[in-house]
Structure 1
Amino acid sequence: MSSRGRPRNFSREEALASAMRLFWDKGYDNTSLTDLTQAMGLKPPSLYAAFGSKAQLFIEAVDLYGRTDGAGIWDELETAPTAKAAVHDLLRRTAENFTRGGEPRGCMVVLSAPQMAGGDPEVCDALKVHRLEKQVALERRFERGVADGDLPEGTPCAAIAAYVASLQHGMSIEARDGATRETLLAIADCAAAGWDAMVAASIKPN
């Protein structure tokens, strides 16, 4: 049975997509319940019946982002022939994804709720988990690179994973500030150009 106030043609996925774009564009804190109900075409009781709370709606919206607009960036991480190629591909895909026309620019996971202090703990913790999952994926890829002989023994995989993740987060902020695709692609190319020297410099002598 449909909840009171829910439109007869209610599509949960379409309503969630509307919420995703609103959160992505305005951020979690700046998106009001009125903003959400207007964008989703729902009355407050129906919104809560369908999604539980604003925080739970946001978390579902972030998951949707990962399956849709945020998808594709990480596709070649495991299949690229070397760690360097994997990072270069990741960052170039990032540049292209973050500058697609007609969408909020940058990464929803990075930009939609950046402040931990005073923020909703449920939201902040969920975003932190998403970010750390990607960083761990990078670390594991680099560990495989060491095992395959692609990266030298002693490569600090965790530190380099944090570096690449931080670089990607910075590209998100650049995109939100209006950086062009060419600028972001240049950042990706600079990271690739300096990769070998960066890896060598990061290895501490015994």
Structure 2
Amino acid sequence: MEQRQRGRPRAFDRDHVILESARLFWRSGYSGTSTRALSAATGLSTSSLYAAFGSKAGLFDEAVRTYAERYREIYARAVEEGNVHTVVERVLVESADEFSRPSDTHPGCLLSSAVMTDSTSTLDASAYFAELQSSNERTLRERIERATREGDLVADTDPATLTGLVQSVWHGLSVRARLGASREDLLATVRLVQDLIRERLTP
């Protein structure tokens, strides 16, 4: 008699499982997402999920790397640009692109989701996202400080204030995307912000 295979089934769409899991984590946080809920959303049994990802923590880590870490990568790429205005443009345009991805291929605007609410069910994920935002803000501020020293911006530019402006616009784009704003609407806002920064802060 042929022995039955154990573990995950042969037909296994990893991208689908990560996408559906990410949606749950963004909505309820790590602690607030049960393995039962993950199983129901992904169509895999708990044993199959564990066979594929090792644990709920392993699945969360992969969901974070797949979606949330894209934002860190956007900042890391942007600050390599030679002109600070291009840096700001890349941060905002590429983020707007990420925010407005089709819902069937992306879990949503995670930073404006319910995962950021202050409740015991979302503290794990909230702590991660707070670290992510601090890291991105620090990366951008250091680049703006360098631009000020090199004369790319007017001498009296306050790097902290300019960084705060960009980050505020970033969060606003995220919220507007979540409320249904189109990519074109988001990019119109980005263009206006760029024009204002150039007009006020270009030497």
Hey, what does 1:111 align to over in structure 2? Answer: 113
Residues 78-100 of structure 1 show CA distances to partners (whole Å, capped at 9, x for unaligned) of 23332122112321222222222
| Residues 177-186 or 80-89, more deviating | 80-89
Hey, what does 2:184 align to over in structure 1? Answer: 182
| Residues 78-87 or 33-42, more deviating | 33-42
- The SS at the match of 1:190 is helix
Higher RCO by CA contacts (8 Å cutoff, separation 6 or greater): 2
Matches of 1:51 and 1:116, distance apart in 2: 28
Hey, what does 1:171 align to over in structure 2? Answer: 173
Hey, what does 1:92 align to over in structure 2? Answer: 93
CA shift, 1:7, in A, is 1.9
Residues 25-70 of structure 1 show CA distances to partners (whole Å, capped at 9, x for unaligned) of x4538755433112334333554674544x66434412221456x5
More helix, by proportion: 2
Which consecutive unaligned segments of at least 5 residues does structure 2 have? Answer: none
Structure 1 residues 106 and 45, CA, compared in 2 at 3 Å: closer, same or farther? closer
Q: How does 1:1-206 map to 2 (within 5 A)?
A: 6-9=7-10, 13-14=14-15, 15-24=17-26, 26-28=27-29, 32-44=34-46, 47=49, 50-53=53-56, 57-66=59-68, 73-74=74-75, 76-101=77-102, 102-104=104-106, 106-111=108-113, 113-196=115-198, 199=201
Give the TM-score normalised by structure 1.
Answer: 0.74
Kindly provide the amino acid, as one letter, of the partner of residue 43 in structure 1: S
Hey, what does 1:204 align to over in structure 2? Answer: none
Give the TM-score normalised by structure 2.
Answer: 0.75
Residues 123-151 of structure 1 show CA distances to partners (whole Å, capped at 9, x for unaligned) of 22111111111111111110110122112
> Identity of paired residues, percent?
27
Number of positions where the alignment pairs a residue of Structure 1 with one of Structure 2:
194
- The SS at the match of 1:130 is helix
Aligned CA RMSD, in angstroms, stands at: 3.3
Structure 1 residues 38 and 197, CA, compared in 2 at 3 Å: closer, same or farther? same
